[in-house]
Amino acid sequence: MKLTTTLLTSTALTVAAGVAAHAQEMANDMTFVSWGGAYQASQQNAYAEPYKEMHPEVSVVWDESSNEAVAKLRAMNEAGNITWDLVDVVAADAMRLCDEGLAMEIDHDEVLADAPDGTEASDDFGDLIVSDCFIPQIVYSTTFGYRTDMVPEGVEAPNDICDVWDTETYPGKRSLEKRPINNMEWALLCDGVAKDEVYDVLATDDGQQRALDKLGEIKDDVIWWSAGADTPQLLADGEVFMGSTYNGRLFSAIVEQDQPIAMMWDAQVFDLDGWIVPAGLPEDRLARVMDFLHFATDTQRLADQAAYISYGPARASSAPMVGKHAELGIDMAPHMPTDPNNAKNTFLYNYEFWADYRDDIDAKFQAWLAQ
C-alpha cells in the first residue's frame, strides 16, 4: 500500500495520523470548538454528521468558545489538561497559538487529503496556509451591509468604502467593530493612502494618528459592536444605516431572513478561518482527530459546507464544486466573497503586521474611544 510506505518514512506526528488511518487505538469521543450559530451548524452538517455516519461509534461534543480559544487553551495548557480535540480559530489566532506552542505543527501534505486531480494539499490550499499549525477551511470577509430603504431618494446606493464617511449623502448611524483592525485600514484608504502603502503608513505614529483622525470625523455617528451578530440586528432594527460585519451574517439576514439589507462589497477585507489541533493530545485522541481531519478537509467536504453558509472554501479545487443552498436552493456562488463580481476591490488582512502592532494600536484606539 502506498500509504503504508509513506508512513514508514514519516515523522512521529504523522505516524499518529497513520495509526489513525489503520484503525488501531482511536478514541471515540471528540470535543470540537467553534463559533456557534449558523457557522457551527454548517460544520456539523457538512463534516461531523457524514463522519458519524461512517463511524457510528464516534460522538462529538461542540463547545462554542472559539472567540476566547487562545486564552482557554493557554489556561488548559497551564493546568496540564487539554479537553479539546479540534479548535476552529481565525488565522491570526492560529498564528498566536502556534507561536505559543499551544497548537500542533501539521505536515499538511501528510495529514490532509490530496485534491481529486492529485494535487498535493499544500498546493491546493496554497498561500492560505499562513501558519504551520493552521488548516484553512473557509475564506470570509468583513464587509458592509446597508438598509436599502434608508438610501435617500434620487441617490445612488453606496458602493464605495468612503461612503461610510459620507454622512451628508447617506445620513444615519454606522456600526463599526470596537477594535482597530480593519477600521484603521479603511480610514487610511479613504484618507487617500494607496492600497499597497496602507500598512507602511499604519506602522508609524503619524499614520496611526491619521487613521484615528479620519475615524474621528464620524465618531459621533458610530455605534461600536463587539459581537458579529450586532450589526445585522442593528440593521434590522433600523438603528444604523450601514455597518460592518462578517459576510455570512449579512447573507443570512438578507437571504434567509429577508431583511431590506444589501451588501456593499467594496474594500472587503479577506480573512481565513480554519482548524488547529491543540498540542499535547494523548495518542488515541490524536489518532481520531487526524482521521477526522483527513476526511473533513477534503475537496468535497469543503464544497459541501458552502451549501449552508456563504463562505468560500479554502481549497482551490473546491471552488468549482460550490452548488446551491441546502434549503433555499439558490445558487451560492454569487454570494461568495470570492465571486469575481464581489471581489473587484478587496483587501487582505495582514497577519504579520497585526501580530506585531495589535497591542500598541489597540491601546491607542481604546484611549481614543474613551476620550
- Our finding on whether 81 is near other proteins (CB under 8 A) is no
- Our finding on whether 11 is near other proteins (CB under 8 A) is no
* 181 contacts 358 by C-beta, under 8 angstroms: yes
Distance separating the N- and C-terminal Cα atoms of the chain = 66
- Give the list of residues 6+ apart from residue 8 with CB closer than 8 angstroms, or none: none
Q: Pick from 263, 258, 234, 238: which is nearest to 248 by CA?
A: 263
- Our finding on whether 7 is near other proteins (CB under 8 A) is no
- Our finding on whether 200 is near other proteins (CB under 8 A) is no
Q: Which range in 28-36, 67-75, 139-147, 256-264 contacts other proteins by CB under 8 A?
A: 67-75
- Within residues 276-305, the interface with other proteins by CB under 8 A covers none
CB of 68 to other proteins, least distance (A): 4
- Our finding on whether 148 is near other proteins (CB under 8 A) is no
| Candidate residues 178, 284, 294, 323; the one interacting with other proteins per rule CB under 8 A | 178
Q: Pick from 26, 1, 128, 9: which is nearest to 85 by CA?
A: 26
- Our finding on whether 152 is near other proteins (CB under 8 A) is no
- Within residues 237-256, the interface with other proteins by CB under 8 A covers 237-239
CB of 358 to other proteins, least distance (A): 7
Q: How far is CA 164 from CA 134, 242, 269, 302, in A?
A: 34, 7, 15, 34
Query: C-alpha cell of 145?
Result: 451591509
Q: Pick from 327, 349, 329: which is nearest to 337 by CA?
A: 349
- Our finding on whether 223 is near other proteins (CB under 8 A) is yes
- Our finding on whether 1 is near other proteins (CB under 8 A) is no
Give the 3-state secondary structure of 26-53: CCCEEEEECCCHHHHHHHHHHHHHHHHH
Distance CA 128, CA 317 (A): 13
Q: Which range in 20-28, 95-103, 139-147, 161-169 contacts other proteins by CB under 8 A?
A: 95-103
> Exposure pattern of 264-301 as b/e (b: 16+ CB <10 Å)?
bbbbbbbbbbbbbbbbebeebbbbbbbbbbbbbbbbbb
- Our finding on whether 224 is near other proteins (CB under 8 A) is yes
- Considering the complex, state which of residue 234 and residue 250 has its C-beta at the smaller distance from other proteins: 234
- Considering the complex, state which of residue 150 and residue 255 has its C-beta at the smaller distance from other proteins: 150
Q: Pick from 291, 254, 292, 27: which is nearest to 143 by CA?
A: 254
- Our finding on whether 218 is near other proteins (CB under 8 A) is no
- Considering the complex, state which of residue 95 and residue 306 has its C-beta at the smaller distance from other proteins: 95
Q: Pick from 198, 230, 233: which is nearest to 214 by CA?
A: 198
Q: Which range in 1-9, 44-52, 63-71, 321-329 contacts other proteins by CB under 8 A?
A: 63-71
What 3-state class would DSSP assign to 54? helix
- Our finding on whether 99 is near other proteins (CB under 8 A) is yes
- Our finding on whether 229 is near other proteins (CB under 8 A) is no
Q: How far is CA 366 from CA 8, 167, 178, 198, in A?
A: 53, 23, 8, 21
What 3-state class would DSSP assign to 225? strand
Distance CA 271, CA 2 (A): 36
The binding track of 329-358 with respect to other proteins, each residue x by CB under 8 A or -, is -----------------------x--xxxx
- Our finding on whether 71 is near other proteins (CB under 8 A) is yes
- Considering the complex, state which of residue 160 and residue 283 has its C-beta at the smaller distance from other proteins: 283
How many residues make contact with other proteins (CB under 8 A)? 34
CB of 157 to other proteins, least distance (A): 21
| Candidate residues 25, 29, 49, 100; the one interacting with other proteins per rule CB under 8 A | 100
CB of 9 to other proteins, least distance (A): 16
CB of 192 to other proteins, least distance (A): 22
Interface residues with other proteins (CB under 8 A)?
A: 67-68, 70-71, 74, 96, 98-101, 178, 209, 223-224, 226, 237-239, 352, 355-364, 366-370
